[in-house]
Structure formats: structure tokens, C-alpha cells
């Protein structure tokens, strides 16, 4: 009986974690879209001194954030299922 309670509490964390990570991704994406919509000249500027446009770096950062958040979710789900 105790193991069933532990399993239910562990599985209850997955939707909350998934929702939190999804909200983080959505906020990052809409920040990028808002920047593209309202400050396009800022995105044309070079990132640091590399000569690469800030728009390119920001777009790649949003994509990589999605990959990292997915990896976090996968690791957290594996750890909770191993318990």
C-alpha cells in the first residue's frame, strides 16, 4: 500500500514539471517574437564582436532551450520511474 502512494506522488510531479518547463519555453519564445516584432533594429546588431546578428543567436538560443528543457524532463521522468 505504501509503494502505491509513493508511485502516485512521483507521477503527480511529472505533469507539474512538464507544465513548468512548457511555460518557460513559451515565455522564451514569445519574448523572441516580441523582440522581432517591436525591436527589429536591435536584432540586426552584431552579437558582441562576432559579427553574427543577434536575431540568429536569439533564435538558436530558443531552440537550444527547448532541447535542454526536454532533456531535463526526460531525466526527471527516468529518475522518478526508477524509484
Q: What is the pLDDT of residues 63-77, one digit of tens each?
A: 999 999 999 999 998
Domain with 12, as residue range(s), is: 2-82
Whether residue 53 contacts residue 44, with contact meaning beta carbons closer than 8 Å, is answered with: yes
8-state DSSP, 20: H
Tally the domains of the chain: 1
pLDDT band at 32 (very low <50, low <70, confident <90, very high): very high
pTM: 0.76
Residue 3 pLDDT > 60, yes or no?
Answer: no
Whether residue 43 contacts residue 58, with contact meaning beta carbons closer than 8 Å, is answered with: yes
Q: List, in order, residues 6 or more apart from 46 with CB less than 8 Å away.
A: 52, 53, 54
**pLDDT of 62:** 96
- CB burial class (10 A; 0-12, 13-18, 19+) of residue 55? middle
Q: Which three cell numbers stand for residue 70?
A: 526536454
Amino acid at each position: 500500500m505504501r509503494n502505491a502512494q509513493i508511485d502516485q506522488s512521483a507521477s503527480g510531479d511529472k505533469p507539474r514539471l512538464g507544465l513548468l518547463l512548457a511555460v518557460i519555453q513559451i515565455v522564451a519564445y514569445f519574448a523572441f517574437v516580441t523582440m522581432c516584432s517591436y525591436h527589429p533594429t536591435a536584432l540586426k546588431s552584431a552579437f558582441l564582436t562576432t559579427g553574427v546578428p543577434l536575431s540568429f543567436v536569439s533564435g538558436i538560443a530558443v531552440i537550444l532551450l527547448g532541447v535542454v528543457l526536454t532533456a531535463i524532463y526526460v531525466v526527471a521522468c527516468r529518475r522518478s520511474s526508477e524509484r
